[in-house]
Structure 1
Amino acid sequence: MQAMVASLSSAFNDSWFLDTAATHHLSHNEGQLSNIQPYQGKDQVTVGNGKQLPISSIGSKYFHSSQKSFQFQDVFHVLQLTTNLISVSKFCTDNNSFFEFHPNIYLIKDKTTKQILHQGTIERGLYKFPSTPCHDSVTSSYSHSAFIAQPKNEFSKWHNRLGHPTPLILKQILASCNIPCNTNTKQIFCACQLAKSHKLSFSSSTSRVSHPLALVHSDLWGPAPILSTTGARYFLLFVDDFSRFTWIYVLHSKDQVSSTFLKFKALVETQFNISIKNLQSDNGGEFKALAPHLAKHGIHHRFSCPYTPEQNGWVERK
């Protein structure tokens, strides 16, 4: 059994310190342990100077928190020790966790979820574990685990992390959690200005052309999650603005839009003896391919602004 620790003073009382070179948990105070039994083995603990110390008894210890109860199994009671030591490897094995060591703090995280279970500090160059199994003291040290190790005066970082609250609410949150941060900022967050702005509602259109085919609304829907009986995934709509009459064509692919429009144009112009004057769409890629045909026949292409389906509302509702 090995235990290695270097310190400036041995007056640590009943504090517990993390030891990455210890194979077992060690304590000099039997009163801190429970389930104590005399040690029947012949092993001894070898300390840093090579001296071997006898093991008096063996017990267990628990530290409770709101996140998890940490258990120290098989803690050796060694009378000649002056410091309580926690074996990092044994702790990780018994508690299904792992450690992160930082210059000023250390973190204990759940091995599966990576959730922070505890945050500890450094004392005299050593990583110190809570000396008493007090629920309140342990909770206060990590209950705000999302707020640890944050640089001061980063008001914008807290603003982003907490879901873009108003500056007044954010100041109240930071103050209630005792988080040091410079709240005397008048910074304007561009993302909030854009995300919280409202688009004016569209008024109902009352315009209507004076004769059939003066304006035809068109839109493509798809792809459908399920094929039709003919294997089609799309349908193309044409709505006459004057009569609101609707033509529907089922398509297997988007590249059929151009040929389908030419069929539609030939049909309606022959049946009504009137030429199509205007075509209105959302200017999708499938309609951009119509540009040469529209220019050839003198048809004006009207299209809605990007991300504004309201401007093509008749056929969108269809």
Structure 2
Amino acid sequence: MGIKVGRLFELTSLHIPVVTQISRSSSTPSIYRWHLRLGHTSTKKLRTLVSGGLLGISKFESFNCVHCQLAKQPASSFSLNESINNTPFGLVHSDVWGPAPTSTVNGYRYFVLFIDDYSRFTWIYFLKHRSEISQTYIEFANMIKTQFARSIKIFRTDNALELIP
């Protein structure tokens, strides 16, 4: 039995059907086995069930569950950005993706991203052919010059050979 808390059900009682001696295993299940059976339930909830006599175990014995310990382990933090860019367009990252397995309604199968490292602002351009990447970069650089009165100082890609003249 349980009550619904948000999108989860909290276990409030456990009904164990009466099992005949023939089908009962020779050893009584351990608290660790109940922990596993109940989906790695907390020790607090297991203590409540044991004290209520619902698990067929007379006393609570502590245990270690490696899976629970690993699940509760905090994730490693990302390294701090060592970027020394203190101006917009000091460093612009770019990546090309494609071809897509299916083209868009307008026939685009590729796209290229331009990301300003300082502001994290991202531009995306859709392309029909991979050969359009060089022209798209020129259009992007001209847009930066006209709209922001700046030029790109460092342009970083993943060795997109299409950009090499």
Q: Structure 1 or 2: larger strand share? A: 1
Q: Which protein, 1 or 2, shows the higher relative CO under an 8 Å CA cutoff with sep ≥ 6? A: 2
**Structure number, greater radius of gyration:** 1
